[in-house]
Each structure stands twice: as C-alpha cells, then as structure tokens.
Amino acid sequence: MSFEEENDSLLEEVFELLEGPDCENPEVILLIGRSGAGKSSLVNTLHKVLTGRFYTIAKQGSGQAQTVTLDLFRYDNCGVKLHRISDKNTKERLTNLLPKLPHILDCAGLADENTPKLREIIELLIGGYIRPGTSIDALEKKQEKCGIGRLKEVFKPDPACKVSKIVFMQGCIDDIPKNLIQCLREVLKISNPATLTRKYQCEIFVLITKYDLVNESRDPNLDGNGISVDEFKKTETEIAEAFCNVGAVGCNTLRWVSFTDNVGFSESQIRNRALKFLKKMIEPGVPKMPEPTFSDRLEEYLYQTLHKLRRACIKQIRERHLNCLSIIGGLVIAFFFIYVISCLLRAGV
C-alpha cells in the first residue's frame, strides 16, 4: 500500500473515531518538553495535515532559545477552522466533527529541573488551573509573591481545560531532560488523600521529534545535525527508561517529523506519521477511574473524621490510664518508703 492510500484510510479511521461515542468530549492535550523540541512545529503540522494549508498558527522558534518564561497557548480543535480546509470531502466530513477534534495546549520551554516550583506549575497546567494566554513569567512572579504551593488558592480550575493526554516531546538530537521528566512523573503520582486514587489520570505519550535527522547511510560526523540509527535507538531507550514508572510508555512512543524548511521527508510520509499520532490521540485508551461524586467525597470525609475522633478518644483514654497507673505506682512507692522508715524507727535505728 502506498503512503497516499494508507493516509486516506487513516483519515477515514480518524473520522470514524470522531463519530463514535468515545469521542463525545474533545481531548485536551498538553505538549510538554524543552524549548526547541518541536512543539509549535507539531501544532502547525497537524493544522496542515487537517486543512491542507500550512500556516504558522503557532510561532516556531529557532530552537536556540533557552528561555523558560513563555506563554501558554491553546489551539482549540487543533487550531482548525472550517473555512481553511481546502479539500471538499474533508470539509464536508469535518462540518459536524470539527468540535470533537482535540484541543492542544502548547506550553513553551520548561526548565530541566525537578523543583517544588516547577511541580506546582505543571500541576496547575495539568489540572486546568491556568487559562490560555497566561504568561508563565507572570505566573512565576505570582508564585513568588503568594509562596510555593499556594497558587491553587488563587486560581479556580476549569474542567474544560483539564488535561486528558500529555505528549512529552523530545528532539532526537537533544539531551534528555531527566529532571523535567522526573518532575512530571512526581506530579502524576500525586494521589487524593481521601480516595487514594491518582489526582491526574492522564495518559502520557512520548514523541521523539526531528526523526528526519536520523540517517542510516550518512556518517553523522559529516553532518553536524544528523545522528545514526544506533544513536537514535539509544535516545529512545534512555527516554523509555526515564519514564519507566509511568505506565506503558514503550507502546506510547512515536517517531515524529514536522513540516519545516529543512526536512528530507516527503509530504505523504510526514502526513502518515501525523495521522497515526492523531488517531492515537483520539482512540479510547486505558479506562479512567470515575471522578468521585459529591456524596462519595462527603462519605469519605465523614469516615475520616469519625476515624480521627476514635483515634483521639483511644489516645486520651490510654493517656489517662497511664496517668492513673503512674499515680498508683507513685503512691505504692511512697507507702513503701513510709513503711520502711516507720519500721526503722520502731526498731530504734
């Protein structure tokens, strides 16, 4: 099967998934990774694949910027607008399905650190506390002012912004930000103390980007940018190891290429990878635990409060018992001394 034929059937599968009952609410996908990993290029590539037109709806960087303080952008329904779709058939199919396409959150350049500060920001991003357009720089200043761990008291979560899928983006030629991965893992491990269930039940995917820079025949020493297949596989293994405790990342790792100036891949090859990724983003994944209802939470709260009260009562009783025992013990010792002294006196010592 040619790439074009495969792409047509992949697009059809995407439409069928969108029509199905599993796609009632659009997924909210958070792109996360270092600056220059190719997050904005992915947004533009997905837009091109769906509309047939390349627009820089997400500003692509030079890849050299190391800044941590950029904004959070949201691309509703992959940033697609019906009037931009060039293909008549796709436009017809998407007329009703467009609102079901995933929303993409592009949070530019996070630092490679695992600090309470970054954990809080990632938690807020995943929990839907941060509105699109928010400057991460301003958010960090607010964090300094309020104190780390207090931002949740300042912002109200928006259920529509709560992240359902996380895509960790890693350039195949770049160093792996192990601290950032650890930071993300720790946030995903946070559990609800009342229910002991995970607070953020989002699936995580890894996209190894710039796959066009992997060259089987070319000597990597001849080209400063290219890497060998072995080097690529090493990166793939290292990243899988870094994520080892976050579920089945092994089967959630994809190789990605974006539409950029210097890509050696054909349009249909790029489209093929993008459609496979899009399909993965909308197909049903591991079933999520239902969110606890109000009555569940109330029941849990009452149970815990009663449990605490019971423990406090037992402690009190135990302490009182101990107090009684020590008084009795003291009295026994005092009587014993008095008895000994009186015996001695009687004996005329």
Binding interface with ligand GDP (CB under 6 A): 33, 35-41, 60-63, 108-109, 209-210, 212-213, 257-258, 260, 262-263
Is 233 or 321 the residue whose CB approaches ligand GDP more closely? 233
Residue 214 beta carbon to ligand GDP: minimum distance, rounded to whole angstroms:
10
How far apart are alpha carbons 209 and 338 in whole angstroms? 88
Pick what 260 binds: ligand GDP, Mg ion, none; C-beta below 5 to 8 Å, kind-dependent: ligand GDP
Q: Which residues contact 16 (CB under 8 A, 6 or more apart)?
A: none
Is 217 or 295 the residue whose CB approaches ligand GDP more closely? 217
Contact present, 163 and 134 (Cβ < 8 Å): no
Stretch that binds Mg ion, among 34-42, 76-84, 114-122, 286-294 (CB under 5 A): 34-42
Is 69 or 90 the residue whose CB approaches Mg ion more closely? 69
Is 68 or 108 the residue whose CB approaches Mg ion more closely? 108
Residue 270 beta carbon to ligand GDP: minimum distance, rounded to whole angstroms:
8
Is 108 or 263 the residue whose CB approaches Mg ion more closely? 108
Nearest residue to 104 (alpha-carbon basis) of 14, 200, 32: 32
Which residue blocks in 86-228 are alpha helix, DSSP H? 88-97, 116-127, 136-146, 151-154, 178-189
Q: What are the backbone dihedrals phi and psi of residue 135, each rounded to the nearest 5 degrees, phi first?
A: -80, 125
Longest dimension (CA), the chain: 122
How far apart are alpha carbons 300 and 294 in whole angstroms? 10
Residue 209 beta carbon to ligand GDP: minimum distance, rounded to whole angstroms:
5
- Does 41 bind Mg ion (CB under 5 A)? Our answer is no
Residue 170 beta carbon to ligand GDP: minimum distance, rounded to whole angstroms:
10
Burial label, 194 (beta-carbon count in 10 A; 0-12, 13-18, 19+):
middle
How far apart are alpha carbons 113 and 24 in whole angstroms? 36
3-state SS, 292-329, equals CCHHHHHHHHHHHHHHHHHHHHHHHHHHHHHHHHHHHH
Is 26 or 61 the residue whose CB approaches ligand GDP more closely? 61
The string of DSSP letters for 287-302 reads PPPPPP-HHHHHHHHH
Residue 187 beta carbon to ligand GDP: minimum distance, rounded to whole angstroms:
20
Total number of residues binding Mg ion (CB under 5 A)?
A: 3
Is 45 or 164 the residue whose CB approaches ligand GDP more closely? 45
- Does 108 bind Mg ion (CB under 5 A)? Our answer is yes
Is 62 or 221 the residue whose CB approaches Mg ion more closely? 62
How far apart are alpha carbons 104 and 46 in whole angstroms? 10
Binding mask 153-192 for Mg ion (x = CB under 5 A): ----------------------------------------
Is 75 or 93 the residue whose CB approaches ligand GDP more closely? 75
Residue 70 beta carbon to Mg ion: minimum distance, rounded to whole angstroms:
7
How far apart are alpha carbons 128 and 28 in whole angstroms? 10
Nearest residue to 38 (alpha-carbon basis) of 19, 5, 6, 62: 62
Residue 66 beta carbon to ligand GDP: minimum distance, rounded to whole angstroms:
10
Residue 289 beta carbon to ligand GDP: minimum distance, rounded to whole angstroms:
32
Pick what 79 binds: Mg ion, ligand GDP, none; C-beta below 5 to 8 Å, kind-dependent: none
Pairing, β 253-255 against β 103-107: unpaired
Query: What are the distances in angstroms from CA 250 to CA 52, 237, 333?
Result: 31, 9, 71
- Would the CA dihedral through 94, 96, 102, 107 be positive or negative? positive
Residue 208 beta carbon to ligand GDP: minimum distance, rounded to whole angstroms:
10
- Does 40 bind Mg ion (CB under 5 A)? Our answer is yes
Pick what 41 binds: ligand GDP, Mg ion, none; C-beta below 5 to 8 Å, kind-dependent: ligand GDP
Contact residues for Mg ion (CB under 5 A)?
Answer: 39-40, 108
